[in-house]
Structure 1
Amino acid sequence: MMAFLKEKFMGYLLALIPALGWGFQSIVMQKIGGKFTNKVMGMAMTTFVFAVIIFFFKHPTTVNSNLIIGSFLCGLFWIVGQLLQVKAFDLVGVSMAMPVSTGEQLLGTTLMGALYFHEWQSGWQFILGIGALAFIIVGIYLTTYSNEKKEKNINLKSGLIVLTISSLGLIGYAVIPRIFDLNSWDILLPQSIAMLITMFIIAGVQKNRKILDVKTWQNMVTGIFFAIANIAILFSNEVNGVAVGYTLSQLNVIVATLGGLLILHEKKSKRELFFTLIGLVLIVVGAIMIGATKE
């Protein structure tokens, strides 16, 4: 019995690593600073290094067109989604951007799972899933509450538009492996190569092409948090199952939001903070309910 409990406890600790990694990722990059291209390039470089290391232990048994095309699209969608998400941090702050981004991604991936992959087969899954989506929608709405009388140097409307487009990119990154029927371990290296190629192309069309300056190298630290979380979720899903692994990984929104408030010192009025925290709770409850539908 004690061995079973110890095994479960260690499994849950493993499942929390993605939440911590993805949560602190946004905090670390904002503390380091630099242009949004520097931040994402640093992450892409570190991801490539980790992928090369993993390749020697887990490499694809076969290389086919599905793997090449799917991996390239994954990397492309991730770059677009990540660039715009980081841009949104500068527009609305981490403490507002992360709940909205997480909520929109949960909505998108859940709808894709239910409608395209037909994950919901029974009545209880539809009831629980639709209830979860309702919680998430209300939660997103509450986290975007802004005190109109309070002057702010942010463009809320532009920030939310950028975030929504970003979420579409990150949803694509999440579902493309399933569309192409790819193993998550197999795509790590080719996907990271696609990330680097895409970033160099973006850098090439910019007026200021200093993509490999000091802030890029410093933001490789940000990439460490992302890469560890990305690899940990694969192990977690194997050990705990997708329901537990997926649900606990979504707790990154709590880490990022509270980090934005406490570490980055993003300012909110008492009313804004109240609505943000309530919205955050609803998004997390929605994530837990979605996790339950995956059982």
Structure 2
Amino acid sequence: MAYLIALIPALGWGFMPIITGKIGGSSANQIFGIGAGASIIGILAFLVMHPHVSATAFIFSLVCGALWSTGQVGQFESFKRMGVSKTIPLSTVFQLVGNSIIGVLFLGQWSGSKALMIGFVALLIVVIGALLTSVSDEAEGSQKVTIGNFLFLLVTTIGYWVYSTFPNLPQVKHEDPVGVFLPEMLGILVGAAIYSTFATKGASWKQAENYKNILGGLSWGIAAFAYIFAARQLGSNTAFIFTQLNVIIATFGGILLLHEHKSAKEMKFTVGGIALIVIGSICTIFA
């Protein structure tokens, strides 16, 4: 049963970009949908489980959720620039490498020369995998991994790094994960609402896509909530391995369901790159 629960985050996070891609709309529509849908899951979880959360942890969680929305806006915009099948592998690598470096420098992870060697070799494998997935035929389509698109996604990923580091902050480290889940989701909604209002000068509130994209938010919120229980039952390392399956689902879902074109050469590089990303991600847990 624990392993079935661990598959939920992979499915939810993997299908989220496909759902929002099918629905369409602007980045403002999509990020609002994620915030609203995730907040619905957070409210339901809070009402059913009645967890405790301190005022300090509530505020910290709210802020970190809002910062997460920065990373997600960057990802949605990158979907339009590069396509889901190119964005997700790169975004996963940026998150994994950034979080690992932060862990080593500030959180005391990968202590010892052996752990560092295994960890950085694993990250190298992941980076090579990402480079393979970004290979494009110059003559094919307009959704390419240009330097500008690459740097845009990298910079906006900082929001994800802050969100991922957040559980290890002393203000919330010993809090119940279920307790901080609701303020995290509300923070995402607040960040999304602010972005949507200023980016579209309020126009997005009148657009149907703003509310249709709540379906993607429900998928994301269920995945995030399920991950709490997967990590509790299997340990965070094992649960993390399962979440990496979302790269496979989102990448090939983008190709098959969103009809993102791949030439024969691009498909070979994509398959090889995804395999390396998953292998490298798994290897990091042994560091």
Cα deviation digits, residues 172-215 of structure 1 (max 9, x gap):
11112212434332221222222222222223323441333211
Give the one of 166, 190, 193 matched to 1:200. Answer: 193
Cα pair 1:73 1:176 within 8 Å, conserved: no
- Secondary structure (helix, strand or coil) at the match of 2:286 reads helix
TM-score (structure 2 length as normaliser): 0.92
Cα pair 1:38 1:219 within 8 Å, conserved: yes
Matched with 2:136 is 146
Gapped regions of structure 1 (runs ≥ 5):
1-9
TM-score (structure 1 length as normaliser): 0.90
- Secondary structure (helix, strand or coil) at the match of 1:186 reads helix
Cα pair 1:73 1:173 within 8 Å, conserved: no
Matched with 1:5 is none
Matched with 1:265 is 259
Distance 1:117 1:59 in 2: 31
Give the one of 39, 61, 84 matched to 2:74. Answer: 84
The count of corresponding residues between Structure 1 and Structure 2 is 283
Give the one of 114, 127, 132 matched to 1:124. Answer: 114
Which amino acid counterpart does residue 263 of structure 2 have in structure 1?
S
Shift of 1:134: 0.8
Indicate the larger mover: 68-77 or 98-107. 68-77
Distance 1:149 1:217 in 2: 37
The verdict on how the C-alpha distance between 1:202 and 1:278 changes in structure 2, with shifts beyond 3 A counting, is same
Distance 1:85 1:16 in 2: 22
Give the one of 96, 108, 111 matched to 2:98. Answer: 108
Which amino acid counterpart does residue 152 of structure 2 have in structure 1?
V
The verdict on how the C-alpha distance between 1:103 and 1:155 changes in structure 2, with shifts beyond 3 A counting, is closer
Cα pair 2:129 2:277 within 8 Å, conserved: yes
Distance 1:83 1:167 in 2: 9
Shift of 1:152: 2.4
Cα pair 1:74 1:177 within 8 Å, conserved: no
Structural mapping, 1:131-280, within 5 Å: 131-152=121-142, 154=144, 156-179=146-169, 180-182=171-173, 183=175, 184-212=177-205, 213-280=207-274
Shift of 1:59: 4.5
Matched with 1:75 is 65
Distance 1:96 1:43 in 2: 21
Distance 1:73 1:165 in 2: 19
Distance 2:137 2:84 in 1: 17
- Secondary structure (helix, strand or coil) at the match of 2:137 reads coil
Distance 2:162 2:200 in 1: 29
Cα pair 2:83 2:254 within 8 Å, conserved: yes
Distance 1:104 1:207 in 2: 28
Match status 1:19 vs 2:10: yes
Gapped regions of structure 2 (runs ≥ 5):
none
Indicate the larger mover: 51-60 or 102-111. 51-60
Distance 1:62 1:262 in 2: 42
- Secondary structure (helix, strand or coil) at the match of 2:157 reads helix
Shift of 1:169: 1.2
Cα deviation digits, residues 54-100 of structure 1 (max 9, x gap):
112444535233x1442133112211010110010000000000000
Cα pair 2:71 2:160 within 8 Å, conserved: yes
